[in-house]
Amino acid sequence: MSETIAPELPGQQADPYFNPLSDEMVADPHPAYHRLRAEAPVYWHEELQAWLLTRFTDCQEVLKDSQTFAADFRRIGIPTPDTLLSLQTLDPPEQTPLRHLGLDTLRAQDLGAFGADLEQLADEEFGKLAERGSFDFVQDFSDRFTLTAMTRLLGVRGPEEDATFHALNKDLDHSMDSGFDPDAEAAGIRARARFNALVESWLANPPEQGVIAYLAEHQAEGKVPVEVVVNSIRAFFHAGFEVPSRFLSNAVHALLRQPEAFDALKAGVETGPAVEELIRFAGPVHALSRACTQDTRIGGTVIKRGDIVVALIGAANRDPEQFADPDTLRLDRTSNHHLSFGRGAHSCLGAMVGRAEAKAVLGALVRHAPNLRAAGPVVQRRNATLRGLYNLPVELG
């Protein structure tokens, strides 16, 4: 199956180990991850001015220890724009009441009914597409499915999917790689402000049910600044449709490239382990950054206060010390404790939602498109942090 890659960004510096926006790494970063983990598992990257970690144990320890490795970069004196202060970027104890509010909000939802709704939605959408014979999995299915799923969970009407929406989404997405393109940060901040305005309109006129309804009623109980709540809803909303869409397209791409795994799925392999293995193998989030708040050591290397550490969880999820035969997609893999949803205080709040979406889509895929196959070039997104596809043309055999 041929692959096409979007044009390379200008100004990128060559590094002997890690050039994540190079053509080779955009197409497949794992050979570089394996080499880095084998030869320099705690590696100082000059362009990023950060330590890169590729071993599972190192990445897990950093993500679990929010006291030493902060998500809030203000703790080492790096200013943070107000629009970036959210559940994702605050640390305990400041983050704790916000996380409790988020957990209470999700527990108040009827997630069983939501899962059934997702299954019906996936069946309806796949049924329509199957009649066409060929379609683009990203543009025609996953992008629309995950945006619809998220707005239903929130209980709101989604934004108009016009040129403005797509431009803002692109700017926010591109800003995740601002370490390689500093000019992207300002556009990302502006995009977040625009999405915040949408969230504020939802809270001002809340629906009768769903996440927004609950937060509009209970937000004051957590004594969390309303601006931070708005930022957190925006982050939850955006991650809630963008990350699952990329995961679903990555997962289907992986199944098409490893047909024995697709055969196992169609033969009735247990869905729960299959979802976890696809998340490990094809998860879109590849990097999480932290700020070191005190001198410490990682694998014998001294990390000083003020240093930035990047946990390359895409690499950690293929560490052979943690996963046997890590580059093979084994849908019956057990004890699959991957890092795709993070660890500790910043573990993904929406993990249960992502799993429900994956189960619904995999079931619909088997029912409606068991003979699915690739139908043209795959276009990779040029993004190092949140990897995925622009296009995945498919057809029914």
The CATH number that applies at residue 119 is: 1.10.630.10
Alpha-carbon span 234 to 229, nearest angstrom: 9
**What's the pLDDT score for residue 4?**
34
Q: Which pair of structure tokens corresponds to residue 221?
A: 């109980």
- 175 confidence band (pLDDT: 50, 70, 90): confident
Helix axes 211-218, 96-107, angle to 10 degrees: 130
What pLDDT, on the 0 to 100 scale, is given for residue 160?
82
* Contact criterion met (CB below 8 Å) for 2 and 365: no
Q: What is the pLDDT of residue 158?
A: 83
Residue 255 is encoded by which pair of tokens? 């199944």
Which token pair is 211? 């996440």
| C-alpha closest to that of 370 among 341, 395, 342, 336 | 395
- The values of phi and psi at residue 335, to 5°, are 50, 50
Q: Which tens digit of pLDDT belongs to each residue from 208-233?
A: 999 999 999 998 887 889 999 999 99
The distance from CA 303 to its chain's CA centroid, rounded to whole angstroms, is 27
Peptide bond into 93 cis (omega under 30): yes
35 within some domain = yes
Does 187 reside within a domain? yes
What angle, rounded to 10 degrees, do the helices at 226-257 and 184-204 form?
A: 110
Measured torsion, CA atoms of residues 94, 88, 55, 53, in degrees rounded to the nearest 10: -90
Residue 145: predicted pLDDT: 96
Enclosing domain of residue 115: 3-74+85-396
Over 60: is that where the pLDDT of 13 sits?
A: no
Q: Where are the alpha helices (DSSP H) in the chain?
A: 23-27, 30-39, 56-64, 96-107, 111-132, 143-154, 163-175, 184-204, 211-218, 226-257, 259-266, 271-282, 313-316, 351-368
Report the share of the chain in percent with pLDDT over 90: 79
pLDDT score for 6: 34
Average pLDDT over residues 171-199: 82
CA gap 151, 210 in Å, rounded: 9
Strands 50-53 and 308-311: parallel
- Per-residue pLDDT, averaged over 161-190, amounts to 79
Long-range contacts of 63-68, Cβ-Cβ distance < 8 Å, separation of 24 or more: 63/288, 63/290, 63/311, 63/313, 63/339, 63/342, 63/343, 63/344, 63/346, 64/343, 64/344, 65/344, 66/91, 66/92, 66/344, 66/345, 66/346, 67/91, 67/293, 68/292, 68/293, 68/294, 68/296
Tokens encoding 112: 């069983």
pLDDT band with cut points at 50, 70 and 90 for residue 170? confident
Asked, for residue 126, whether it belongs to a domain, the answer is: yes
Residue 146 lies in a domain: yes
Question: Residue 365 in contact with residue 252, Cβ under 8 Å?
Answer: yes
The vertex-328 CA angle with 323 and 330, nearest 5°, equals 80
* Residue 92, domain member (yes or no): yes
- The alpha-carbon radius of gyration of the chain (Å, integer) is 20
Please, what is the average pLDDT of the chain? 91
Q: What is the pLDDT of residue 189?
A: 87
pTM: 0.91
**For residue range 233-269, what is the model confidence (pLDDT) as tens digits?**
999 999 999 999 999 999 999 999 999 999 999 999 9
Residue 62 included in any domain: yes
Q: Has residue 80 been placed in a domain?
A: no
- Tally the domains of the chain: 1
pLDDT: which is higher, 7 or 379: 379
Question: Is position 165 within any domain?
Answer: yes
Q: Identify the band that residue 2 occupies on the pLDDT scale cut at 50, 70 and 90.
A: very low
